[in-house]
Structure 1
Amino acid sequence: MTVWTLGLNHTTAPLDLRGRFAFALDQIAPTLQSLRSSFPSGRHPQVEAAIISTCNRTEIYCASEHIALDHTVGWLAESGGVAPTLLRSHAYTLHDDEAARHVFRVASGLDSMVLGEAQILGQMKDAVRAAENVGALGTTLNQLFQRSFAVAKEVRTATEIGAHSISMAAAAVRLAGQLFEDLRKTRVLFVGAGEMIDLAVTHFAAKEPKSIAIANRTLERGEKLATRFGGEAMRLADLPARLAEFDIVVSCTASTLPIIGLGAVERALKARKHRPIFMVDLAVPRDIEPEVKALEDVYLYTVDDLAHVVQQGQANRQAAVAQAEVIIDAGVQSFMHWLGQRSTVPLIQQLNAQADEWRAAEMARARKLLAKGESVDAVLDAMSRGLTQKMMHGAMAELHSGDAASREQTAQTISRLFLRKER
């Protein structure tokens, strides 16, 4: 069995290219079905697969008897509408121990834009559940991910990897504070109601802004989040007409197309008499048209723009990173040992089946002898001799066949198997 990974992230691919391969959680199931059905059934029956898709990365994990990286690259390139050569130039491909090391580092927060952040672990667990629900997660990938979660827990318990981390939301608040002298005088609009927006609202609410509003496609979900922070909920359809009311706009939805266009922002600026608007687009693909950034009174930041801010203080965590890598090394070795043992499972099953067949045959023979009146001792002796002969027959036959060199090698193997001293 082999495992492989194809991925692209914030260090290898620009934002707009990552946006082509972003999958919302409700898209994961049909996407996995499409991926698995694309493999040739003869050489790759029942390929295990899982997809992790966040604002910073899209990664495909697969397991099968034979590696199929080229096929996986071709499938993903086609799904994103790009040439395989372009995808390869921005992607990474890993297999076996390298794939295991990578997923352990991702789960532990070592591969994130925010070093040590914990949000990725929840996103990975959501991806695993989605793969399980569609029947795409077999024994091998299940072991890989469960072990990655265990390693991540040990890293966070045994090191200070997350002690100095700055979240995307915290970075957004910090940048907004540089533009507005007093955040308590600002009106803040959040577009979306998912986990990232929940985190952003929490950070901004701590600064006690003048008002908070939540715009979401599902009004009920928006109201639920707004109620927690004493804000108001509004329909997404009302956003263009009300955009001018807000000094700060933070957006993160699962939309595949921008929902805040250049024209809407231009009209809002005109209504605001060109008072500045601070905008944060945390979505991949983008929620806000990139042309908005060129407007004179708009300060627009994407997830990639926040990279410099969130990486401040990274030097304080380098000692923790070294400790985490040691834990990850041990986890990789343990997984590869388990994966290696998996190759012997069919042989073990065959041996057990053969032994059960011999045992059943000798038991049936013993019952017949007992029914004929044979003594128990004689029957037990015959049964033990029968089992012994069956077990030794193959070994004895091999010892008497082949040339001298092969017989010597066979003799050494049989000695190890049958002449071990009891400890």
Structure 2
Amino acid sequence: MQILTLGINHHTAPIQVREQVAFAPEMIQPALHHLKDHLASVSETQLPEATILSTCNRTELYCAANDESSHEPSALKRTTIEWLAKSRGIDSEELLPHVYVLPQSLAVRHAFRVACGLDSMVVGETQILGQLKDAVRCADEAGSLGTYLNQLFQKTFQVAKEVRGTTEIGAHSISMAAAAVRLSERIFESVSDQKVLFIGAGEMINLCATHFAARKPKLVAVANRTLERGQELADQLSEQGLATESLRLSDLPTRLQDFDIVVSCTASTLPIIGLGMVEHAIKARRHRPVVMVDLAVPRDIEAAVGRLNDVYLYTVDDLSDIVQAGADSRQAAVGQAEAIIETRVSHFMHWLETRGTVPLIQDLRQRGEDLRSYELERARKLLARGEDPQVVLDALAQGLTNKFLHGSLHALQHAQGEEREALMKILPGLFRATNSDK
């Protein structure tokens, strides 16, 4: 069985590329069914496995399939890139420079590093672990999670727990949410004098709201597609003594002008805030500056907005310098985490290799059972005819011994050259192991 990871992330592709291959949550299960069908046609197996992880910083396909070409993964790489490009409606040649393909132990190591936060923009962040668990849960519900990927991800979660429990990998980390606050404070002397608008009500917006709430802004508003969910977050913030309100997304064209800081992170596949909407808001604000932080992939705010005067637009890629703060102090923990991961990769690859011998072991056991049954039935017939039990037992032992040795002796007698030398080295060890079990 071959395990393969194929993807793009913030290390290999800018946001303009990442947003083109991102999967909205409701798209993942149908995509998994299509990906499984694709893998089945490529690997000639009816039981391929697949998981899709799609976040603001990465889109990754984790696959497991019987595929001889995986020893030279160029064929599987090419066809899977073509599948990804076709499913997202883009040219595969455009993706190719940004894609990484990791077979076998490299795929395992990558999964472990991702779960531990070592491959994140914010080294040591914990959100990615929850996102990976959600991806695995989705794959399980879609029926695309089999023995191999299930084992891989269970080990992945164990490694993440071990790393976080025995190292300080999360210490000194600056989250994306905290970075959004810092960016705002570069433009405004004090967030407490500003009105803040959050667009969306998911996990990232909740984290951002928590960080901004600590600065006690003048007003906090939550705009969401469903008013009820936005109101829930607004109510939580009001319990901290903040002035709050909730809006519908449809209110944005007339209300955007009221806010000094806008933080957006939704699962929309199309921009929510366009150039015209922002131009109108800036005019109504009489050109007072506004900070806009777009944490969504695909982006919620049209890129052209960033060219407007008095608008300070930041994307997830723009936050990278800030979130890297404290990297030096985390290096010791990173080294410890990498050492743990290397050990666990070796363990998993040993398990994977032993899984490859299971069919052979089953076949050998069945052959042994067939020999035993044949000789036992023969002995029973001799006893039924009144033969001396001692003679029958000797014949049974002799028959089993002859059949047990036949394959090895036949192979040794007919082998030549290096094959004969290899058998001469292997066979004594096998029979010594047999004797030692007595």
TM bucket, shorter chain:
over 0.9
Aligned ranges for residues 315-330 of structure 1 at < 5 Å?
Answer: 315-330=328-343
Which amino acid is 1:47 matched to?
Answer: P
**Structure 1 residue aligned with 2:222:** 214
* Residues 1:378 and 1:71: Cα distance change in structure 2 (over 3 Å): same
Aligned ranges for residues 50-69 of structure 1 at < 5 Å?
Answer: 50-66=51-67, 67=70, 68-69=76-77
Which structure shows the bigger proportion of residues in helix conformation? 2
Is 1:234 the counterpart of 2:235 in the alignment? Answer: no
* Residues 1:405 and 1:254: Cα distance change in structure 2 (over 3 Å): closer
- CA drift of 1:333 comes to 1.7
Structure-2 separation of matches of 1:239 and 1:265 = 10
**Structure 1 residue aligned with 2:73:** none
Q: Secondary structure at the match of 2:234?
A: helix
Which amino acid is 2:154 matched to?
Answer: Q
Which amino acid is 2:61 matched to?
Answer: I
**Structure 2 residue aligned with 1:191:** 199
For structure 2, the residue ranges without an aligned partner over 5 or more in a row are: 71-75, 239-243
**Structure 1 residue aligned with 2:404:** 391
Conserved? CA contact 2:40–2:48, under 8 Å: no
How high is the TM-score relative to the length of structure 2? Answer: 0.89
- CA drift of 1:215 comes to 1.3
Is 1:270 the counterpart of 2:283 in the alignment? Answer: yes
* Residues 1:404 and 1:336: Cα distance change in structure 2 (over 3 Å): closer
Aligned ranges for residues 219-368 of structure 1 at < 5 Å?
Answer: 219-230=227-238, 231-365=244-378
Is 1:148 the counterpart of 2:161 in the alignment? Answer: no
- CA drift of 1:389 comes to 3.6
**Structure 2 residue aligned with 1:157:** 165
Is 1:32 the counterpart of 2:41 in the alignment? Answer: no
> CA RMSD, aligned part only?
2.3
**Structure 1 residue aligned with 2:190:** 182
**Structure 1 residue aligned with 2:130:** 122
Aligned ranges for residues 379-418 of structure 1 at < 5 Å?
Answer: 383-403=396-416, 406-407=419-420, 409-418=422-431
- CA drift of 1:111 comes to 1.0
* Residues 1:397 and 1:268: Cα distance change in structure 2 (over 3 Å): same
**Structure 2 residue aligned with 1:134:** 142
How high is the TM-score relative to the length of structure 1? Answer: 0.92
* Residues 1:30 and 1:406: Cα distance change in structure 2 (over 3 Å): closer
Q: Which moved more, 1:267-276 or 1:51-60?
A: 267-276
How many residues align? The count is 423
* Residues 1:408 and 1:79: Cα distance change in structure 2 (over 3 Å): closer
Q: Which moved more, 1:353-362 or 1:103-112?
A: 353-362
% of aligned pairs identical? 57
- CA drift of 1:187 comes to 1.8
Structure-2 separation of matches of 1:21 and 1:154 = 32
**Structure 1 residue aligned with 2:49:** 48
* Residues 1:233 and 1:381: Cα distance change in structure 2 (over 3 Å): farther
Conserved? CA contact 1:25–1:127, under 8 Å: no
Structure-1 separation of matches of 2:168 and 2:132 = 21
Q: Secondary structure at the match of 1:240?
A: helix
- CA drift of 1:371 comes to 5.9
Which amino acid is 1:189 matched to?
Answer: L
Conserved? CA contact 1:168–1:306, under 8 Å: yes
For structure 1, the residue ranges without an aligned partner over 5 or more in a row are: none
